[in-house]
């Protein structure tokens, strides 16, 4: 059996989801030192999710092009619930989500992130954070007990659109040390109010 003993990071983002699934599962299952995976929503199917659940060292996961499809819901929910159940034994420390605008109102699985005890670095990358996204951030502000770094904004554009209250919802988090944003608006006005109330 071929085993990639030194492979620690792999990026599937450019692969065709329809033809690469078998190879992805095989690589994930035969790289015992693999710690970081990058892929798109289209790659994140049940058997791929199950292969990642069985990993013993996964510490970083990046999912791009998230549209909130029905096919994505069950696999991502199962994956997050697994790491919630692992509690402090979970190895996942960094979670990056590139979310397409307009889907956050339907993404109920995002609420589960606040229950991930071992997560230290969370990146929620989107161009718009509307009012109906506030409950997600409020739960993160009260949960994610190990969270030290949070990035909000857009990975590709200079500015992101934040509704009032987004930053304030995070001000009581006990361990949050680094707050990053691509939005100039948040720095000039809302961050000031955040500092005033914290």
- Residue 29: inside a domain, yes or no? yes
Higher pLDDT, residue 190 or 87: 87
For 33, the token pair is 């030192």
What would the mean pLDDT of 91-98 be, rounded to a whole number? 96
Which residue in this structure is represented by tokens 């944003």?
Answer: 181
- Residue 196: inside a domain, yes or no? no
The enclosing domain of 27 has a CATH number of: 3.80.10.10
Distance of CA 72 to the CA centre of its chain: 14
Higher pLDDT, residue 54 or 184: 54
Which residue in this structure is represented by tokens 């589960």?
Answer: 112
3 state SS of 125 = strand
- Yes or no: say if 55 and 82 are a contact pair by the CB < 8 Å rule: no
- Residue 104: inside a domain, yes or no? yes
- Residue 129: inside a domain, yes or no? yes
- Residue 120: inside a domain, yes or no? yes
Provide the pLDDT for residue 126. Answer: 82
- Residue 191: inside a domain, yes or no? no
- pLDDT by residue (tens digit) across 61-73? 999 999 888 899 9
Residue 71, sorted as left (phi over 0), alpha (psi -120 to 50) or beta, turns out to be: alpha
Residue 196 pLDDT > 80:
no
Residue 187 pLDDT > 90:
no
Q: Cα separation of 50 and 31, whole Å? A: 15
- Yes or no: say if 165 and 197 are a contact pair by the CB < 8 Å rule: no
At 84, the pLDDT band (50, 70, 90 cuts) reads very high
At 185, the pLDDT band (50, 70, 90 cuts) reads very low
- Residue 194: inside a domain, yes or no? no
* Span between the terminal Cα atoms of the chain, in Å: 56
- Residue 17: inside a domain, yes or no? yes
Residue 133 pLDDT > 80:
no
Could you tell me the pTM of the whole model?
0.86
What would the mean pLDDT of 107-113 be, rounded to a whole number? 88
Residue 172 pLDDT > 90:
no
- Yes or no: say if 76 and 56 are a contact pair by the CB < 8 Å rule: no
Count how many residues are written for the chain: 198
Query: Number of folded domains in the chain?
Result: 1
Q: Which domain holds residue 18?
A: 9-185
Residue 89 pLDDT > 90:
yes
- Reference 80, options 110, 37, 35; nearest CA is 110
What would the mean pLDDT of 31-44 be, rounded to a whole number? 96
At 184, the pLDDT band (50, 70, 90 cuts) reads very low
């Amino acid at each position: 059996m071929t085993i990639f003993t030194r492979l620690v990071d792999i990026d599937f983002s450019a692969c065709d989801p329809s033809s690469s699934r078998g190879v992805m599962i095989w690589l994930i299952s035969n790289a015992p030192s693999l710690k970081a995976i990058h892929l798109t929503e289209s790659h994140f199917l049940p058997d791929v999710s199950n292969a990642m659940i069985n990993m013993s060292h996964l510490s970083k996961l990046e999912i791009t092009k998230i549209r909130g499809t029905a096919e994505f819901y069950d696999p991502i929910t199962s994956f997050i619930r697994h790491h919630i159940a692992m509690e402090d034994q979970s190895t996942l420390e960094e979670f990056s989500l590139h979310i397409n605008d307009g889907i956050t109102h339907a993404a109920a699985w995002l609420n589960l992130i606040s229950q991930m005890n071992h997560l230290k670095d969370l990146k929620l990358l989107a161009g718009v954070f509307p009012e109906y996204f506030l409950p997600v951030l409020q739960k993160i502000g009260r949960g994610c007990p190990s969270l030290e770094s949070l990035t909000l904004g857009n990975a590709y554009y200079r500015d992101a659109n934040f509704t009032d209250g987004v930053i304030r919802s995070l001000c009581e988090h006990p361990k949050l040390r680094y707050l990053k944003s691509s939005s100039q608006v948040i720095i000039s006005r809302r961050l000031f109010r955040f500092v005033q109330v914290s």
